[in-house]
Amino acid sequence: MLLSRGLREKNMLNKLMLADFKKLLAGALSNLEKNKEIVNKLNVFPIPDGDTGTNMYLTLKTAMEEVGKKDQSNLKEFGKAVCTGALVGGRGNSGVILSQMLKGFFESIDDPPFVDTVKFASGLMGASKVAYQAVIKPVEGTMLTVLKAAATKAVLIAQNEQDFIKFLEDIIYEANKILSKTVDMLPELKEAGVIDAGGQGLVFLLEGGLTVLKGEEIAVPVFEEVTEEMDKAAISGDLKFKYDTVVLLNTGNVDPEKIKNDLQGFGDSIVVAASSDLTKVHIHSNEPYRILEYLVSVATIKEARIENMQLEVNEFLKEEKQEDVLPSETKLPFSIICVAQGNGFKKLFRNLGVETIIEGGQTMNPCINDILEAINSTKKENVVLFPNNSNIVLAAGEAKKLSQTKHVEIIPTNNIVEAIPAILAFNSEATFEENIENGKKAIEKIHTVSITYSIRDTKVNGFSIKNGDIIAFFDHEIVGKGKNPGKLLMDILNKKREVVENKEFLGVYYGKDVTKEDAEKTLAMIQEKFPNLEIDLINGEQPFYYYLVSIE
Amino acid sequence: MGKIIVSQNAISKIAAIATEKCYGVVGLYPIKLGDRFLYFFGKSTPTRGIETRIDNSKVKINLYVIIQGGIKVSEVAQTIIEQVTYEIKKFTHIKDVDVNVIVKGVKREEYAE
């Protein structure tokens, strides 16, 4: 009895040393990297811009890079490096909050030779205190709330729980409990039906730390090797080996080195990565079935994935070629910059005389610097900028302020289809100012309909929407949901009949997920119901939106 | 159709409430002499650090803030601009909103424990 207890205590993790902290933070970082998209998707508060996960990840990543720059000999130096890195690399709101939390934690534990659960709990409490200090009116239902609950629990149990694994498990349980309640704490979260993004990020960090302390590994999907190959291949256009094969194996007693050697004859770019229980094999070849045949003979396959890279390369080359369409020369005394997504739109803008196109739109906002560079590279002194998305309008405004050499005017288009009539309203005889006026007037009269899909369950404007539902926006309000994009578009136009019938022209831009046949069917339906309207059907090839419609 | 008029004071209040919720902001700095006087005697006006100008349908706001020390000021300021702009647009549907942040002070760090 006594012996077994002694053994248990010996194996118990009750002190964290410097090396353990390094491991803990590295694990936290990997786990967040793996799950950052989940966090991004939850982000609706304070601004629904979907970047919380990325911001937290990049903040902690810079912190860890700072740690890697020098060898620290004690916890104080380590903590200092983490805090400096997080401060300098702090990105976005959640990143800044995270940097304060790390600062509070490491300042509280100061410089002990080791950290036990009591010390760790006081560190969490310090983190919570420092994090709360930096805001006048802390909003509850955010990552601050989650940390406070976790810290309170930690202080309560630390005296009686010396084992870090159980200690952290209890804290994470508590954190998850409060996290699930955040949806009821904040009206913004409640309306969207989500839990808090930053809080979820924090839980991922704690869970990542716990996983590595348990001695388990966190598998982060690796993509680098493949993209590198793609770039090289893209230059030539023809691939020596077509099929990219990734297999997850249970190798048992077989040496991974032997597998690697045996595979040499089949293709190139061979990577065999072994972890404690699974081995990952990556190879480019022309006969993937032979690889599977061989692997089955030596090991058990858990998962296999085969991709034809030639198709991707062809697609890539095609896009490259289309990029080359030169802007048509305009007599306008100024340059036009557009933010756009979708090859159809890009081609259209080129033909309309847009000088520079910045890649971006929904889910992919260009940063201020991208816009500034585009502004500085234009040929003419005066520049008109179309942000084409409400999330980009702000960045465009900042870029305008930063630009010193050019005279920039922004026409605040919220939807890509608004830019087209605005450009058409430009007149080479008029002055720059008059043209801006004309452009702004043109977009005031336009209504837009967007048909897209939802990426999560939510509740807006009295519509309860499920993940994957097709939804319709009229201007910027959700006005309907349905199952078929074409039919939904028709319903909305009918609903807004009063508005539509007073207008003359309808521009229907169909996305890359809609076939030409389907689009033509939709067009026929609209024409039948609205015989007086002039309608244009254009292939916009935009992602995310099945249909974008401008009513002019 | 009728007209909707949102007063300067209303916009200032929305901006004040939004700013106070921003992470990293520990205070608004009173810019008007009268506000500073009241502030000195411990009476604070809610919109003390906020300058709002309305020009047709354009709104321009200057926010004079005090920020917590030891935080990346540029990120905090950027967040304030984004959050305040977002809140004003959300509540008033005014499209043209321009927010500037002037950092008037930094609060000294207090160490935990």
The pLDDT value recorded for residue A91 is 83
Topology (CATH level 3) of domain A224-315: Alpha-Beta Plaits (3.30.70)
Is B17 a domain residue? yes
Write out the residues of chain A at the interface with chain B, using a CB-CB cutoff of 8 A.
46-47, 49, 87-88, 90-93, 95-97, 99-100, 103-104, 107-108, 125-126, 129-130, 133-137, 139, 394, 397-398, 412
A-chain CB neighbours of B79 within 8 Å are: 92-93, 96
Phi and psi torsions of A456, nearest 5°: -160, 170
Residues of chain A with CATH 1.25.40.340: 9-213
Topology (CATH level 3) of domain A9-213: 1.25.40
Cα radius of gyration rounded to whole Å, chain A: 28
Is B41 a domain residue? yes
Q: Decide if A479 contacts A494 (C-beta within 8 A).
A: no
CB atoms B21 and A107 under 8 Å: no
Nearest to A407 by CA among A426, A435, A443, A388: A435
Helix A52-69 crosses helix A92-109 at what angle (to 10 degrees)?
40
Which of B23, B26, B99 would best serve as a mutation to test chain A binding (most A beta carbons within 10 A)?
Answer: B23
Residues of chain A with CATH 3.40.50.510: 325-443
- Give the residue, A229 or B33, on which the prediction is more confident: B33
The pLDDT value recorded for residue A11 is 64
Which of B50, B60, B75 would best serve as a mutation to test chain A binding (most A beta carbons within 10 A)?
Answer: B75
- Give the residue, B70 or A361, on which the prediction is more confident: B70
Residues of chain A with CATH 3.30.70.980: 224-315
Topology (CATH level 3) of domain A325-443: Rossmann fold (3.40.50)
Is B19 a domain residue? yes
Q: A129 to chain B, minimum CA–CA distance in Å?
A: 7
- Give the residue, A393 or B111, on which the prediction is more confident: A393
Provide the domain count of chain B.
1
Is B3 a domain residue? no
Q: B24 to chain A, minimum CA–CA distance in Å?
A: 5
A-chain CB neighbours of B113 within 8 Å are: 108, 126
Q: State the sign of the Cα–Cα–Cα–Cα dihedral A475, A481, A483, A489.
A: negative
Is B102 a domain residue? yes
Residues of chain A with CATH 3.30.1180.10: 447-551
Is B20 a domain residue? yes
Name the helix (H) or strand (E) containing A527.
helix A516-529
Range 56-95 of B in CB contact (< 8 A) with A = 68, 70-72, 75-76, 79, 81-83, 85-86, 95
The pLDDT value recorded for residue A393 is 79
B-chain CB neighbours of A369 within 8 Å are: none
Question: Domain span at residue B46?
Answer: 8-107
CB atoms B83 and A397 under 8 Å: no
Chains A, B: CB contacts under 8 A, how many?
Answer: 78
- Give the residue, B94 or A240, on which the prediction is more confident: B94
The pLDDT value recorded for residue B113 is 38
Q: Are strands A463-465 and B50-55 parallel, antiparallel or unpaired?
A: unpaired
CATH for A447-551? 3.30.1180.10
> Which position has the token pair 């704490």?
A185
Which pLDDT tens digits describe chain A residue by residue (552 residues)?
Answer: 444 444 444 567 888 999 899 999 999 999 999 888 888 888 877 777 778 888 899 999 999 998 888 888 889 999 999 998 898 888 888 888 999 999 999 999 888 888 999 999 999 999 999 999 888 888 899 999 999 999 999 999 999 999 999 999 999 999 999 999 998 998 888 888 888 999 999 999 999 999 999 888 887 765 433 333 444 444 445 677 788 888 888 877 777 778 878 887 787 777 777 666 677 788 888 888 888 888 888 888 888 888 887 777 776 666 555 544 556 666 788 888 998 888 888 888 888 888 888 887 776 777 777 788 888 888 888 889 998 887 787 778 878 877 888 888 888 888 888 888 888 888 888 888 888 888 888 888 888 888 888 877 777 777 788 877 888 888 878 888 888 888 888 888 888 888 888 888 888 899 888 888 888 888 888 888 888 888 888 888 888 888 989 888
B-chain CB neighbours of A107 within 8 Å are: 111-112
The pLDDT value recorded for residue A165 is 92
pLDDT tens digit sequence for A148-198? 999 999 999 999 999 999 999 999 999 999 999 998 998 888 888 888 999
- Residue A403's SS3 state is coil
Is residue B112 pLDDT above 70, yes or no? no
The CATH code of the domain that includes B77 is 3.30.70.1350
User: ipTM for the complex?
Assistant: 0.78
The pLDDT value recorded for residue A524 is 87
pLDDT tens digit sequence for A311-332? 777 766 665 555 445 566 667 8
Q: B2 to chain A, minimum CA–CA distance in Å?
A: 17
Is B1 a domain residue? no
- Environment class of A89 (CB within 10 Å of its CB; exposed 0-12, middle 13-18, buried 19+): buried
Cα A355 to Cα A297, A424, B76: the distances in Å are 58, 15, 34
Q: Decide if A247 contacts A281 (C-beta within 8 A).
A: yes
Closest residue of chain B to A125, computed from CA coordinates: B112
Is B78 a domain residue? yes
